[in-house]
Amino acid sequence: MTRIFSGIKPTGHLTLGNYLGAVRQWADVDQHRAESLFSVVDLHALTVDHDPGRVRRLSRQAATLLLASGIDPERATLFVQSHVDEHARLSYLLECVATDGEMRRMIQYKEKSALERARGGSVRLSLLTYPVLMAADILAYGADEVPVGDDQVQHVELTRDLAVRFNQRYGHTFVVPRATYPKVAARVMDLQDPSSKMGKSGDAGAGIVYLLDEPEVVRKKIMRAVTDGGSEVEYDREAKPGVSNLLEILAACEGGNPEGLSGVYETYGALKKDTADAVVEVLRPVQEKHKELVADPAYVEEVLRRGAERARGMSRPMVDTAYRAIGLLPPV
């Protein structure tokens, strides 16, 4: 059976981008067709300036929101990355396979390190090695597929390279995984700046819809979205990035495709109104379920406890095999 691994990092509140680009796919499709593991990858949240209490709160919230989005703990394994030691154990081995040049070429590293330096801060070494830890997350489980938004393409490519290199040098050990993307909304853009990704670590701006935003807030953000020159409502990501982003969001919410919505609307206002309504409807059940789950923290904890136990059992043999293959003496 196909095995799937994916993760989300608790660096901010979950956004509509996370939901449409990844989480909804995990809940509605992936967990029904494959053996699935989904992780709140909290170690990754420590690669930039962080507040310990906030990371803890956001980790709990992310796990709760994944359940609220429909991840079913009877079908999929849901766990917190730091509860399973194998990720860090394997990450070190992969650091011995990856090169520093490879790491420095990663787009997200270049962008985030430049931002950090521009703020006058220093860049954590873990920001540079982040993609290796991500590769370890995936390879530790022998995952065949990694469902992600398209900002993760380069990281999954690196994961493949490391798996192939390790296998060539030390004997076949790892499955070489491939990324999968949703057909629509693989890259939801910021509503105020459609040239940049809607990201949870972006400023708390008006351009980001959060999963837990109240309906009125969602409506306001979408109605105020930046649109483009002209007045035709057409899907053209180059010429009409703002409108195309709204069409993409609307299509994703309705289960259609954005090209099919080209020419359907006469005004930007009508498109915005329908998009706002569609987003509010998509978020409603998630928010309702989230409210229920927040009232039952013991349930969420039990899911995470069982998830970590299962994940340990699945990753331990793979990581032990890699330790032996690379030349480390078995413990006596």
Provide the minimum distance between the beta carbon of 179 and ligand TYM in the complex, in angstroms, as a whole number. 8
Q: Is 304 in the site for ligand TYM (CB under 6 A)?
A: no
Provide the minimum distance between the beta carbon of 198 and ligand TYM in the complex, in angstroms, as a whole number. 4
Residue 200 annotated as catalytic: yes
Q: Is 82 in the site for ligand TYM (CB under 6 A)?
A: no
Provide the minimum distance between the beta carbon of 291 and ligand TYM in the complex, in angstroms, as a whole number. 23
Q: Is 5 in the site for ligand TYM (CB under 6 A)?
A: yes
Question: Which one-letter amino acid corresponds to residue 114?
Answer: A
Provide the minimum distance between the beta carbon of 92 and ligand TYM in the complex, in angstroms, as a whole number. 16
Provide the minimum distance between the beta carbon of 227 and ligand TYM in the complex, in angstroms, as a whole number. 18
Per the residue annotation, which of 197, 221, 240, 272 is the catalytic one? 197
| Residue of 86, 69, 81, 84 whose CA lies nearest to 23 | 69
| Residue of 203, 175, 205 whose CA lies nearest to 191 | 205
Residue 220 annotated as catalytic: no
Structure tokens belonging to residue 270: 């009508």
What part of residues 130-149 is at the interface with ligand TYM (CB under 6 A)?
134, 137-138, 146, 148-149
| Chosen residue from 198, 222, 304, 322 binding ligand TYM by CB under 6 A | 198
Q: Is 87 in the site for ligand TYM (CB under 6 A)?
A: no
Q: Is 18 in the site for ligand TYM (CB under 6 A)?
A: yes
Q: Is 227 annotated as a binding residue?
A: no
Q: Which is nearer to ligand TYM, 104 or 120 (CB)?
A: 104
Q: Is 199 annotated as a binding residue?
A: yes
Residue 197 annotated as catalytic: yes
Question: Which one-letter amino acid corresponds to residue 48?
Answer: V
- The residues of the shown chain that bind ligand TYM, judged by CB under 6 A, are 5-9, 17-18, 21-22, 41, 44, 134, 137-138, 146, 148-149, 151-152, 155, 185-188, 197-199
Q: Which residues have a catalytic role annotated?
A: 112, 197, 200
Binding residues for L-tryptophan: 137
